[in-house]
Amino acid sequence: QVQLVESGGGSVQTGGSLRLSCAASGYASSRYPMAWFRQAPGKEREGVAAIGSFGSTNYADSVKGRFTVSKDNAKNTLYLQMNTLKPEDTAMYYCAADPRVRLLPDLFAKDYDYWGQGTQVTVSS
């Protein structure tokens, strides 16, 4: 049974940083893609960053240059380093896992079968 547990969310001011973590169990993160999505109140869930089966990455245009996705295969943990945060980054952030080998990970929620419960990120101006 796959379990994804996010942590690291919180409240920061504009320009601040946070690092999100997603601990995976029952899932070989070293082989399969994982991603971060976010959903703000009244908005659709959107892909933020993904890392593929062989380490390739994909980012939403809105976070390129500010966010970095990575994973520690030994710890089976996915990370999202978020720098230069903006109020528009405020959302619930979700970790997701795709049980298919993909060279290039995408940011479409429909392609991810497993989801965590989310961690809240709030950026104040």
C-beta of residue 25 within 8 angstroms of C-beta of residue 31: no
Q: Read off the pLDDT of each residue in 47-70 and give the average, rounded to a whole number.
A: 96
Q: Read off the pLDDT of each residue in 86-95 and give the average, rounded to a whole number.
A: 98
pLDDT of 53: 84
C-beta of residue 55 within 8 angstroms of C-beta of residue 104: no
Q: Are strands 57-59 and 3-7 parallel, antiparallel or unpaired?
A: unpaired
pLDDT of 117: 97
d(CA 13, CA 85): 8
Q: Is residue 5 predicted with pLDDT exceeding 90?
A: yes
d(CA 45, CA 49): 13
